[in-house]
Structure 1
Amino acid sequence: MIKNNFKLMLRNKWVLACMLIGPILTIAMLSSAFEDMMSSYENVEEFKVGYRVSEKSVFADSIEEITDAGKTAGIQFANYPDGDPESLMAQNDLAGFLVFDGEEYTLYESADYETEGQTLEYFMVQVEKQAARQIENNMFPQGEEENITLPIQELEFMPAIDSKDYYGIIEVVYFIWCGIVSVAGVLSSEKKNGISKRFQVAAMSETKLYFSRWIPAVLTTICQIAATIFLATVLFGISWGNIPLTVVVLLVTVMGAMAFGLLLYAICRNLAVTIVALFTLVWFMGFFGGSFETYMFSSMPDSMKNLSPIYHVNRALVEYSCMGKSDYTISCILYMIGITIVCTVLAVLINTIRKKGRA
């Protein structure tokens, strides 16, 4: 039965085409739509900023300390006593320009240097804070004056991943969860030809009947996804990172997704209703799991994300791609194995109770 069902599933060329072309089209559309938003950030090492300071400026006595602090932060200050700031920026390729006059300063930013402009803004905010502290220390002496320095803090972060890598991985996972359509041909054939009724009076146990569907469904989905991954990798140059762990995670995901789909069929006993229910549930799991809006930029609470099995799989595979490892490996594998076992037991139990009720 496993062999025959496997052949039947592979003969359904319409389903095979949809499972192959669907992810490719989705990857192409979403990766293109979010390409700019997910473009990799390039760190700015050094950039030039012009400045002008009047004798009446409150910053006049501290300008040397400010420029020295700027060098530490990667900002090269150059003094331009005369000329229009905007013209000087264009002529000398300056990322910004500061005019210190009286108790205030004016900051000019170049449209071509947005990141540098934000860095300069942050730098001046820190300058103001420390200037205020120095004034306070002068009024209420508590020790030696502090030089102007920028606070530095090391933050944990995930390296950037581009849209093609992200959606090339994410959409493969999403379509795995829709893989129950691979079993559609077998289930519809059984119902159409009355084979399911014959199974009810046969000596075959519901456990054997279940695995005669689950095993070929898993094998068929593996073949479909392998072809999709190969094609997507060739077309989009997707980086999968840690290949062995990626294979393990994808395998347990296929197992869990098929078990979940067959449980829904055991409950509904109607293929159309099963597919609608599955696609609806998968959509919500994907919504919280990052299948549409990237989970890095999602405003959804972590408690909601962690309820979605798709989130654990997505998180693990994406981190493999950009870091080669993931803290979600164990939770992902345990989640999928748990879904496989629980859904299998429930599906067999439901079918057994239904069979005895009709006996």
Structure 2
Amino acid sequence: MKRLGVRGTAALAPIALVVLAVSIAVGTTIGPSDLGPSDAFAVFLERIGGPDSGLSAVREGIIWDLRLPRAILAAICGAGLALCGVVLQSLLRNPLADPFVLGVSSGASTGAVLVVVTGLGAGAIGLATGAFLGSMLAFGLVLLLGFVTGGTTDRMILAGVAATQLFSALTSFIVYTAADAEQTRGVLFWLLGSLSTASWTDVVVCGVVVLLGVAVCWSAAGTLDAFTFGQDAAASLGVSVAKVRLLLLVMTALMTAVIVSTSGAIGFVGLVLPHAARAIVGVRHRLLVPTATILGAIFLVWVEIASRVVIAPQELPVGVATALVGVPAFVAIMLRQRRRTQA
């Protein structure tokens, strides 16, 4: 497959943004009310100062307060998770790395479950705050274990595996010892990934963090190119390896923590989409970062749409839907790496 260069990517960027906007509009039409993409655009234009949409207050509320935040949050989460995958696969030089390799998702799950099941800090500490604190605690533990044991990429991955197992065990312990049947069902649904409780507050918080992450990672594109050849090669090019790696890992953990705190554990997006982006534009991060970000946004919007349609009127957890796509892709990536190694 012939990869796109700078000019080809720039030419396709407006088309990709249009596809993303249309995808979000379509996402607002899924549900019992008879609403179309044109209604979503009309309501959006009205809210930003345009003409009256002509819809009733109830229908406007369905679009603006329920469906539109959900679709936009799906796009933001998909973009952020794909970007995290790009950064981690470059820093760790591991094509199978994704945002959950550092145990951040498991830490977020523990924090959220602790708040939900025990009511710890009710009225002061919400679900998102508990998940965020758990995420950062897990990331801190991974950094500590990784650097104490040598600070290499392999050690960091092993530290992430250890943290994942630890916080997964803590989550199970809390659920089994403190939750009733109703709480357990709610917690398990959230842990499998769900955007059903999306709000404009979630959109703003996640949007700001992901935009910051895009800016930081895109500005460090040249450094990420150097990291793909190894730490020694990056250092020989004048890169401050320890500082840059710490900055990018912290940014990655922050994005993952905020995303997980609002949408639950959605896996495989950060694993699959970076490889799809590389197949289109190659390995240069100046093109790879924006391409993976847009692809991730479009991908998760449509996965979220599918999760509401496949077993309607019930809703399939988004994390389950991404796993159904991601596991075959994971196997394909491993087989591809095996063929490259044998060659």
Q: Classify the TM-score, shorter chain.
A: 0.3 to 0.5
Higher helix fraction (1 or 2): 2
Give the TM-score of the pair, scaled to structure 2.
0.34
Greater relative CO (CA pairs within 8 A, separation 6+): 2
More strand per residue: 1 or 2? Answer: 1
TM-score (norm 1): 0.32
